[in-house]
């Protein structure tokens, strides 16, 4: 698979990465450990070099699984993880708030290094902006870890332009990760132009709309009790029915390309900027292969224009998160 450079940071990764959260958290019951380790290693065999995790996924279980899966492949891959939540080990465990105090960032880094079985974290994102801690202090804390050789690159997740600029002035930001897809296009207004100006890469998470843009979900789909899509406004029965026009668009273009809706959705993202690297996630080998093959799909200028024109006329129904979670984003 071709490589892409995340902005001017020098960090090169496969043009499609793998979001690992879903193998152990979020989308219903966790996958069987041996199968999920095999899935991650299969991704490496097929050219994926970029893997995304976080301490809060599980919590902790996802980092441990990714670390075990990639330990013997360490020289071939880049692992991104995240800090920024305060976790309560009792009753879950679960996250109970934001915490980006410099001393906590250091604690998370030390723990993540052990779980990932690495000597340095390749890319260390602030998972969500903490309004109680100036971003300059956050950037400075990560900068200290970089100088100590424990972290290689600094990233931000779901941060607004003002925060990105302030952080970048203290410690260069290699990448910003935010939700971005054909049905979540907020970053286009301000974030993408600012990243282009500053030389920062962009990593879209949920590039397939949490599975919706694959065409495998409709109004009648049911989710496991532990699947977090049950609480998302955009996944109500009514919203899923209303948003099928987007899937129809992807199917129409894919029919001409010999591509699936998921592949068209990923190819569309890849065409937006040469420093964009989406990280679709899956627990299924067939879906992994399908997503990877999207790297070979090239949409024509006419098809890109068709998609943009048609999508601009589609009103996406439903907020992407409940209100209390939406407030934690800077977009």
pLDDT digits (tens, 9 = 90+) for 85-100: 999 887 667 888 999 9
Residue 331: pLDDT above 60?
A: no
**Is the pTM of the predicted complex or chain greater than 0.95?**
yes
Mean pLDDT of 40-53: 98
**What is the architecture, at CATH level 2, of domain 3-326?**
Alpha-Beta Barrel (3.20)
214's tokens? 């694959």
Determine how many CB atoms are found less than 10 A away from the CB of residue 165: 15
Mean pLDDT of 7-16: 97
> Nearest to residue 110, comparing CAs of 134, 140, 83, 128?
83
Lowest mean pLDDT among 214-228, 298-312, 316-330: 316-330
For the chain, domain boundaries: 3-326
Could you give the C-alpha distances from 116 to 55, 78, 79, 112, in angstroms and in order? Answer: 10, 11, 9, 6
Q: How far is CA 208 from the centre of its chain?
A: 11
Q: What is the mean pLDDT of the chain?
A: 96
CA dihedral sign of residues 186, 191, 195, 201: negative
Per-residue confidence at 326, pLDDT binned at 50, 70, 90? confident
pLDDT of residue 90: 78
pLDDT of residue 91: 63
> Nearest to residue 6, comparing CAs of 147, 224, 201, 288?
201
Q: How many angstroms separate the first and last alpha carbons of the chain?
A: 31
DSSP-derived 3-state class of residue 78: strand
Residue 330: pLDDT above 90?
A: no
Residue 205 annotated as catalytic: no
pLDDT of residue 293: 98
Per-residue confidence at 147, pLDDT binned at 50, 70, 90? very high
Mean pLDDT of 41-46: 98
pLDDT of residue 273: 98
pLDDT tens digits along 251-310: 999 999 999 999 999 999 999 999 999 999 999 999 999 999 999 999 999 999 999 999
Higher pLDDT, 258 or 329: 258
Q: Strand order in 151-157's β-sheet? A: 18-19, 50-52, 78-83, 121-126, 151-157, 173-179, 201-205
Residue 82: pLDDT above 60?
A: yes
| Catalytic site residue from 27, 57, 180, 212 | 57
């Amino acid at each position: 698979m071709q490589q892409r450079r995340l902005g001017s940071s020098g960090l090169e990764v496969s043009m499609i990465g793998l979001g690992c959260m879903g193998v152990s958290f979020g989308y219903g019951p966790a996958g069987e450990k041996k199968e999920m380790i095999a899935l991650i290693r299969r991704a490496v065999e097929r050219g994926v070099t970029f893997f995304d995790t976080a301490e809060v996924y599980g919590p902790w279980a996802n980092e441990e699984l990714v670390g075990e899966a990639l330990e013997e492949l360490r020289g071939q891959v880049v692992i991104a993880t995240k800090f920024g939540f305060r976790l309560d080990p009792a009753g879950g465990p679960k996250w109970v708030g934001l915490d980006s105090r410099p001393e906590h960032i250091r604690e998370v880094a030390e723990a993540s290094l052990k779980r990932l079985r690495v000597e340095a974290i390749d890319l260390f994102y602030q998972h969500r902006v903490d309004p109680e801690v100036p971003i300059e202090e956050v950037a400075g804390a990560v900068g200290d870890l970089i100088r100590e050789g424990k972290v290689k690159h600094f990233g931000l997740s779901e941060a607004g332009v003002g925060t990105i600029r302030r952080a970048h002035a203290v410690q260069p930001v290699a990448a910003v990760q935010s939700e971005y897809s054909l049905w979540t296009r907020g970053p286009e207004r301000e974030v993408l132009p600012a990243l282009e100006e500053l030389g920062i890469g962009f990593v879209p998470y949920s590039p397939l709309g949490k599975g919706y843009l694959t065409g495998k979900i409709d109004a009648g789909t049911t989710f496991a009790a532990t699947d977090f899509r049950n609480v998302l406004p955009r996944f109500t029965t009514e919203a899923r029915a209303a948003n099928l026009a987007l899937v129809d668009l992807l199917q129409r273009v894919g029919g001409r390309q010999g591509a699936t809706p998921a592949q068209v959705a990923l190819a569309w993202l890849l065409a937006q900027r040469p420093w964009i690297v989406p990280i679709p996630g899956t627990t299924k080998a067939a879906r992994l292969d399908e997503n990877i093959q999207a790297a070979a799909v090239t949409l024509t200028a006419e098809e890109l224009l068709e998609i943009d024109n048609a999508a601009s006329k589609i009103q996406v129904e439903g907020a992407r998160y409940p209100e209390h979670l939406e407030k934690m984003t800077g977009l």
